[in-house]
Amino acid sequence: MQKTKIQPVRVRPLMSCLLLMLLQHSLVHAQANMQTDTVSMQQYLAAVENNSLDLQAQQELIASAKAGISIAGVRPDPQLTAGIDSKELYAPNKPNTATTSIAGIAITLETANKRGARIQAAESNVRLTEAGVSAYRRQLLSDASNAFIEACRSAMSLARRDSSLNAMRDIVKMNETRFKTGDIGKLELVQSKVEADRFSMDVTSARADTINAEAQLSNFLGKNYHEIFADRKTDCSSQDDMTADLATLTRQAMEKREDIQLARSASENAKDNIELAKANRWIDPVVNLGIKNTPRVNAIQNASGMVTNSPAERSNALSLTVTIPIPFSRTQSGELSQAQSALTQAQLQLRSTLMKAETEVRSSYLQYQAALQNIKNYKEHVLDDSERLLQGVRTSYRKGAASMLELLNAQRNADEIYQAYLQAEATLAIARIKLQQSTAYQPK
């Protein structure tokens, strides 16, 4: 019997495609996780702006100011009058006298466009309030940025101290081995353990500082940091350098700075208040329109048939009067003087704000350039030299060519330089934020 040869099924290409798809999916998933594992400063500041309770409270001022526009547009209410004009209380004196009733309406006519002046002042007050809230937002984000920078510096400082502790613990392990072989004495072993304990205490303090700095981030969010970002860590990567020249930054600051806009809005509001004060000095006449109703008076006859009263037919009489106040109170001009003084103060404040802003931009720019140069020096020379020196002393110590004191001095010197570098990074970040804030720069 002839056997049938079974051809094997080729599944290798199919398996390769499946493996490739799984690999691509894993890479995409890993990239997504990498993107969400950290929180950048811009993400944190956006969360602060969306969740800050203090900022939300300030924004209610804008809603209140906008409601003031509606209030300013209210016209004087008309006044209705109704009642008895005359009623004879002693009937024998005037028998059959009619009771007269009246009804009327009084309307105040606003002059000098008071309503328009009120609305204009209320609208400028809205702009003033918006500028004030914007200035508050600027300061809030500046403080939140500093807290974020401090959290980054503390975390990196902890990582450095932890690295130094691990290196010292390796030295202790090495010394224990060298002590057993008789290469070193008991004193040097104990000294290395004591130094390791000191490094451990530094790590404990640095960890507490880091936890405290991270806790401070919640103060600006209006809720716990982990409620918004879960367990995501701060992204401490450096931001792009600002390359604009001083003249461009100064010009931008003069146009967009929140405190300058606030000062300008205050000046405009003061001008509108002067116009309102002038309009309020005009008197408002009151127009009174009324109607008087007198019922019919029937004749009364005595026993002789003679009429003993004054009969009359029903009467409706219309009245129209205009009441004009005598403006004795306008002999003084205190409200105008106050409004003019407020305008002068606002204009002087605007000039002062412009001068201070220009000075602040120049100062922030110079501080930023200096901080940038310091970081460049650290990265190009200081850090590498200190690390090479530390590694060289460690190698020499392992070979017995360097003492424990030299190793500790090299370790502390390298740690101090690195801590100074971290502080310089924080100073640069703060200087960058200050320059951005002082020029109303919006990072992309």
Note whether 100 and 87 are within 8 A (CB). Answer: yes
Residues 306 and 398 in one domain: no
* Residue 443, pLDDT score: 62
Token digits of residue 387: 């690390």
Residues 252 and 290 in one domain: no
pTM of the model: 0.78
Residues 295 and 410 in one domain: no
Tell whether 1 is covered by a domain.
Answer: no
Token digits of residue 382: 């200081």
Q: Could you tell me the mean pLDDT of each successive run of 10 residues in the chain, 444 residues long?
A: 45 45 46 62 93 95 96 95 87 75 94 94 96 93 93 93 92 90 87 92 95 93 90 80 87 91 95 94 94 88 79 90 91 92 96 95 94 92 91 89 88 93 92 90 67
Percentages of the chain per state (helix, strand, coil), in multiples of 5: 70, 10, 20
Tell whether 443 is covered by a domain.
Answer: no
* Residue 38, pLDDT score: 87
Residues 85 and 189 in one domain: no
* Last-in-domain residue among 323, 347, 377: 323
Question: In whole angstroms, what separates CA 146 from the centre of its chain?
Answer: 14
Tell whether 36 is covered by a domain.
Answer: no
DSSP H/E element including 289: strand 286-294
CATH number (domain holding residue 426)? 1.20.1600.10
Which structural domain range is residue 393 located in?
Answer: 41-75+112-280+336-438
Token digits of residue 401: 């060519």
How much is the CA Rg of the chain, to the nearest whole Å?
43
Residues 149 and 206 in one domain: yes
Residues 200 and 57 in one domain: yes
Residues 381 and 306 in one domain: no
Residues 310 and 354 in one domain: no
* Residue 253, pLDDT score: 92
Tell whether 296 is covered by a domain.
Answer: yes
Token digits of residue 395: 């190698």
Cα(73)–Cα(115) distance, integer angstroms: 6
Tell whether 62 is covered by a domain.
Answer: yes
* Last-in-domain residue among 301, 323, 345: 323
* Last-in-domain residue among 267, 300, 323: 323
Residues 273 and 163 in one domain: yes
Beta bridge partners of 104: 81, 290
Cα(64)–Cα(134) distance, integer angstroms: 16
Contacts of 27 (CB under 8 A, 6+ apart): none
* Residue 444, pLDDT score: 56
Tell whether 12 is covered by a domain.
Answer: no
Residues 119 and 245 in one domain: yes
When divided into structural domains, the chain yields a total of 2
Residues 400 and 267 in one domain: yes
Residues 297 and 390 in one domain: no
Cα(159)–Cα(294) distance, integer angstroms: 100
C-alpha distances (whole Å) from 317 to each of 64, 103, 404 are: 48, 11, 117
Cα(368)–Cα(439) distance, integer angstroms: 13
Looking at the chain, how many residues does it have?
444
Strand order through the sheet with 79-86: 79-86, 100-108, 286-294, 315-323
Tell whether 429 is covered by a domain.
Answer: yes
Tell whether 19 is covered by a domain.
Answer: no
